[in-house]
């Protein structure tokens, strides 16, 4: 195991004997900038089994912030959405807000690289990116591809090398709600006015929303994260036989409908409005494939058994959504 000299500001390696960093000009203090190279740990094809978190189940994170718990160790809490790097630096004191030193969590022995992973805030969500680490990074049961961003959700399990941590997110109200419209030319209204009847709400709209929630729950299950019950914040009838809905807990499901189901429907207009038990077997198989595609969009690492089980659960909901006369727009 060699000793090397790294700059405490830019974290880049310098030749021994240098008085200042060749990259940023910062004076080097050899006593404080000697750190070990990353230990190579055994390579595995799957993330090893990890028990449920012994960390802080009720860890309080400031609104818009992010935290990490490590079982019995002190959690790490970041109060802002600024990007930062998770890694290790050793005995040197790092004061940069762009770096989180994990040495106190046995990072060196657990195979954490000096600059292992970056946490960023992109499109109103936290994402993690492996920085070509020596021993890799894992999110739940998925090994991260280096230099590719993966979204983080509450209670996700993140592993750097073999250092396991659990993700805790602060509330972000704007990220929880989504507004979308359902349009149906034959939506029954009272004497042409934009007023929904209770019958229309019960027989037309609520079954669609229930299927949308079931899709979201299935996506959450495949990503191994807890589901939050969907909640309707507002529902209004607008001109053009359109219902506009603001809801929590349906964002990914609605986005999946827009990305996958709408193109599918555009090629099969002749079956829209059909009852599921009357459609051609080829259409039925196409809906099954549509469900599988949506699931793999959100978790490409699903095993065959997991995919089969999820598709079997999701197919009735996908039939209702795909064949329903409603058109969803965001």
Give the per-residue pLDDT at 287: 92
Determine the angle formed by the axes of helices 206-222 and 281-298, rounding to 10 degrees.
50
**What pLDDT is attached to residue 195?**
67
Q: How many CB atoms lie within 10 A of CB 62?
A: 13
**C-beta atoms surrounding 38 within 10 Å:** 20
Q: Are 90 and 114 in contact (CB under 8 A)?
A: no
Strand bridging mode 73-78 / 327-329:
unpaired
What is the structure's pLDDT at 52? 45
Alpha helices in the chain, H assignment, sequence order = 30-33, 173-176, 198-200, 206-222, 251-256, 262-266, 281-298, 304-323
DSSP conformational letter for 103: G
Give the residue ranges of DSSP H helices in 26-104: 30-33
pLDDT of residue 157: 93
CB atoms under 10 Å from CB of 197, counted, come to: 13
pLDDT at 34: 44
Q: Using CA atoms, how far apart are residues 293 and 283, in angstroms rounded to an integer?
A: 15
The pLDDT, as a whole number, for residue 154 is: 85
The pLDDT, as a whole number, for residue 174 is: 45
Query: For every one of its 330 residues, what pLDDT tens digit does the chain have, with 9 covering 90 and above?
Result: 345 566 655 556 677 777 777 766 777 764 444 445 676 666 554 555 554 444 445 577 887 789 999 988 889 998 877 789 999 875 444 446 688 999 889 998 999 998 999 999 876 678 999 999 999 999 988 899 999 989 888 889 999 999 999 999 886 544 457 888 888 866 655 555 656 778 888 888 899 999 999 999 888 887 766 677 888 888 888 767 788 998 888 888 998 898 899 999 989 989 998 888 888 999 999 999 999 988 888 777 778 888 888 899 889 999 999 999 888 988
170: Cβ contacts below 8 Å, ≥ 6 apart: 61, 62, 63, 64, 65, 66, 67
**Cα-Cα-Cα-Cα dihedral of 124, 125, 126, 129, to 10°?**
-100
pLDDT, position 178: 85
DSSP H or E stretch at residue 84: strand 84-87
CA distances in angstroms from 109 to 3, 45, 186, 306, listed in the order given: 15, 20, 65, 34
Nearest to residue 292, comparing CAs of 312, 320, 321? 312
Decide: residue 46, CB within 10 A, 0-12 exposed, 13-18 middle, 19+ buried. Answer: exposed
pLDDT score, position 143: 92
Output the six-digit token pair for 186.
């034959």
Give the pTM: 0.50
Indicate if the alpha-carbon torsion angle 300, 305, 309, 311 is positive or negative.
Answer: positive
User: What does the pLDDT read at residue 153?
Assistant: 85
**Angle (deg, nearest 10), helices 304-323 and 206-222:** 160
Q: Number of helices and strands (H, E) in the chain?
A: 8, 18
> Which sign does the torsion angle of CA 289, 319, 282, 255 carry?
negative
- Topology (CATH level 3) of domain 47-169: Tumour Suppressor Smad4 (2.60.200)
Whether 249 and 219 have beta carbons less than 8 Å apart is answered as: no
Residue spans of the domains in the chain: they are 1-37, 47-169, 173-329
Phi, psi torsion values for 25, nearest 5 degrees: 85, 5
Q: How many residues does the chain have?
A: 330
| 8 Å CB contact between 285 and 315 | no
């Amino acid at each position: 195991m060699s000793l090397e000299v790294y700059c405490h500001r830019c974290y880049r390696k310098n030749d021994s004997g240098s008085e200042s960093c060749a990259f940023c000009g910062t004076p080097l203090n050899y006593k404080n900038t000697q750190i070990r190279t990353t230990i190579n740990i055994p390579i595995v094809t799957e993330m090893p089994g990890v028990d449920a978190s012994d960390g802080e189940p009720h860890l309080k994170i400031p609104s818009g912030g992010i935290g990490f718990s490590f079982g019995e160790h002190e959690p790490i809490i970041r109060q802002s959405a600024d990007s930062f790097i998770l890694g290790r630096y050793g005995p040197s004191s790092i004061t940069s807000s762009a770096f989180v030193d994990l040495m106190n969590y046995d990072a060196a022995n657990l195979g954490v690289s000096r600059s292992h992973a970056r946490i960023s805030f992109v499109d109103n969500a936290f994402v993690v990116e492996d920085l070509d680490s020596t021993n890799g990074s894992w999110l739940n049961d998925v090994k991260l591809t280096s230099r590719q961003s993966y979204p983080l959700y509450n209670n996700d399990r993140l592993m750097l090398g073999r250092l396991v941590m659990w993700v805790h997110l602060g509330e972000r109200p704007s990220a929880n709600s989504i507004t979308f419209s359902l349009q149906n030319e034959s939506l029954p209204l009272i004497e042409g006015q934009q007023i929904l009847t209770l019958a229309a709400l019960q027989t037309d709209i609520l079954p669609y929303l229930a299927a949308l929630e079931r899709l979201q729950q299935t996506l959450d299950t495949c990503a191994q994260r807890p589901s939050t019950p969907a909640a309707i914040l507002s529902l209004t009838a607008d001109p053009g036989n359109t219902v506009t809905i603001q809801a929590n807990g349906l964002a990914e499901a609605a986005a999946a409908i827009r990305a996958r189901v709408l193109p599918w429907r555009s090629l099969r207009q002749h079956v829209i409005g059909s009852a599921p038990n009357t459609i051609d077997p080829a259409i039925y198989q196409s809906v099954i494939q549509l469900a599988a595609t949506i699931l793999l969009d959100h978790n490409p690492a699903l095993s065959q058994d997991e995919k089969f089980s999820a598709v079997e659960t999701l197919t009735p909901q996908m039939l209702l959504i795909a064949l329903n006369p409603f058109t969803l727009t965001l």
